[in-house]
Structure formats: C-alpha cells, structure tokens
Amino acid sequence: MIIAIDGPAASGKGTLGKRVAAHYGLAHLDTGALYRAVARDALAAGGDLADAGAALAASRALDPATLGDPCLRTPALGEAASVVARDPDVRAALLAYQRDFARKRPGAVLDGRDIGTVICPDADVKLFVTASPEERARRRYKELEACGVNITEALVLADIRRRDERDSGRETAPLRQAEDAYLLDTTNLDIDAAFRAAIDLIDAAMGCAGRVV
Ligand code: CDP
C-alpha cells in the first residue's frame, strides 16, 4: 500500500505523513529532507547553489542515514532546497531511492511535492494537503520559535510564498495536485482534526478500491 501526500510549504504534510504511517503500520519518508540534505551537503562542500555541479554531486553522494539531522529544518535550508530541487538532474538522482522506499513492505507513506504526480503515480491513495499561506506561516513560525529560531512571522510568510512560487513554477515535477488526489484544506483544522479527516479519506478510498488496509 502506497499513500502519497503532497502540498505546499509548511502545509503540515510531514506531521500528517508521520501519523498516517504510524496508524497503518507503514514506513514514512519525508522527501523534502532529501532536497534539504542535498543543499546542506552542497553548501558544506563549499559549493555555490547557482552552480549545478555542486548540487548534482551532493545528490549522487547522498547518505540516507543523515536524513534525520535536525539542522535540516532551518528556513535557510528550506530555501536552498527549493533552489536545488529545480534541477532535473538532481531530481533524477533522487528518484530511485524514493521509488525503492515506496516499494517497502508492507507499504509506505511518502510526502513531498511530486509524489502523486511523478514518484508514485500509481499510489493507492493520494492526498493534497493545503492551508492558507497565512495559516501555514503562523504554524511554521510557532514551530521555529519553539526551536529558538530568531525570525518574524512576516519573514516566514514571505519565505513560504517565495518557495511556493518557485516550486509551482519550475519545469520539472512542479508542485501540483494530481488529478486523482483528494484535496484536504486544513486552514480551519488542528492537527488532530486534520489527521482524522485524512484517515476518513484514506479509509473511504481503500473501501472503494475494495482493498483491506
Ligand atoms: O517542510 P516544508 O513544506 O517547509 O518543506 P519540505 O517538504 O522540507 O521541502 C523543502 C523543499 O524541497 C521544497 O520547497 C521543494 O522545493 C523541495 N521538494 C521537492 O521539490 N520535491 C519534493 N518531493 C519534496 C521537497
């Protein structure tokens, strides 16, 4: 069973993906961490993100064991990730890892921008999770503040808008809702309500498909 969760920056896909995976006993992959880690490694190697070679070398040498690094969550690496994520060669270098992960037994939940459209077009269930930019900025700001990151909510909102624009406007694997994805707008839902709504959608979809989760 494969569940694809896509959505714009700070839409809560990661938290939802983790909880959905735990609920069904599936593995979970936050694919944003791959792009963040590529940006981290390219910068650590002294690379310039404008230089395609640095990001490509980092994507080919990526060590998945480093994906849990808490430093990946900084706004600076989110921004840098969306720059390296425009490169089709970087995306191609990360494709096999994601598809192999999705094939794990008994199944997996992957969250990102292009899971339902490119990585797992045949996923059993696809969700597109979104919320208003202002609500996403409010949530991300609270998260960053709790981690001691010194930033304003206005800056977080500007970062989110810039990244959404870059992610939606790129040529390769742009951020978009797959035609067969269910839209889940969490603007007025807290995480528990969003989780319940996601489970209801998935259970209904699996019921329709006549499968046992
Ligand atoms: O957590 P947040 O929504 O802020 O970002 P993320 O999911 O960690 O992704 C960081 C960046 O990686 C995004 O802005 C995208 O540019 C890129 N990304 C992508 O291109 N494709 C994916 N499947 C996942 C992330």
Contacts 24+ apart (CB under 8 A), 183-188: 183/128, 183/130, 184/127, 184/128, 184/129, 184/130, 185/130, 185/131, 186/11, 186/12, 186/129, 186/130, 186/131, 186/135, 187/130, 187/131, 187/132, 187/135
- Whose structure tokens read 């797959």? 178
78 lines ligand 1 (CB under 6 A): yes
HSE on the CB side for 28, CA within 13 Å?
19
> Whose C-alpha lies nearest to ligand 1, atom 14?
82
Closest ligand 1 atom to 78 CA: 10
Nearest-CA residue for atom 6 of ligand 1 = 32
Q: Across residues 14-37, what is the average pLDDT?
A: 97
State pTM to two decimals.
0.95
**All domains of the chain, ordered by start, with CATH?**
2-203 (3.40.50.300)
Ligand 1 touching residue 75 (CB < 6 A): no
| Ligand 1 neighbourhood includes 81 CB (under 6 angstroms) | yes
Closest CA to 51 of 92, 76, 85, 84: 84
pLDDT over 50 (residue 213): no
Asked whether residue 212 carries a pLDDT value surpassing 70, the answer given is no
Tell me which residue has its CA closest to atom 21 in ligand 1. Answer: 113
pLDDT over 60 (residue 211): no
What is the percent of the chain with per-residue pLDDT over 90, rounded to a whole number? 90
CA dihedral 212, 126, 62, 45 (to 10 degrees): -150
The predicted pLDDT at position 209 comes to 63
Mean pLDDT of 42-48: 91
Share of the chain above pLDDT 70, in %: 97
